[in-house]
Amino acid sequence: MGTIARYEASLNEPGFKPSEEAKKNIAEIRANLKKQGIDVDHLFSMREQIKQQRMASATQPNKAILDKKHRIPGFITPVEMEGTKVTKFFLVPTAGACIHTPPPPPNQIVLVDYPEGIELVSLATPVWVEGELFNQAVKQDVNYSDGASNVEAVYQINADLVENYEM
């Protein structure tokens, strides 16, 4: 199945032209699976449905946690600074998320507005954020010294308190 999936994904790539040998190999694999009672096309259609459901789940907020006060741990990805203080940032689940890696799903990111600001010790320093969580979808370019990243979030907090994580 993996061979067929990779082959079919390649068919959508510009300039890809499969060899006759590759076409024959895929046809043989499909025939062998059919003999075993496996409907490849049905499985791929189910795979696509599941993929779409997962993508929808990753972009929808959890309504059970909205409009309530929360204390959430995470890491700062700066969006706006005032001097040396971060006043707006994305709260992300892992240090450095969004910088050199693709961002986490939008429902794992919170845009935090904290006009008082917090001194940024390091992107690897965890923080606690307290405030009321609400649903507000946002897409924002975040610029860094070595590039930019477009980040999406479905949650926002106007923070009452942001402090370094202490156990």
Segment 155-165, tens digit of pLDDT = 999 999 999 99
The class (CATH top level) of 63-164 is mainly beta
Q: Among 44, 42, 35, which Cα is nearest to 3's?
A: 44
Are 148 and 53 a contacting pair, CB within 8 Å? Answer: no
Domain ranges in the chain are 2-58, 63-164
For the chain, how big is the Rg over CA atoms in Å? 22
Angle at 100 between CA 140 and CA 10, to 5 degrees: 90
Which of helix, strand or coil describes residue 128?
Answer: strand
Residue with tokens 């689940």: 93
Q: Tell me: the pLDDT tens digits for 44-59? A: 999 999 999 988 888 8
Are 154 and 107 a contacting pair, CB within 8 Å? Answer: yes
pLDDT range class, residue 133, cuts 50, 70, 90:
very high
- pTM: predicted TM-score of the whole model, two decimal places: 0.72
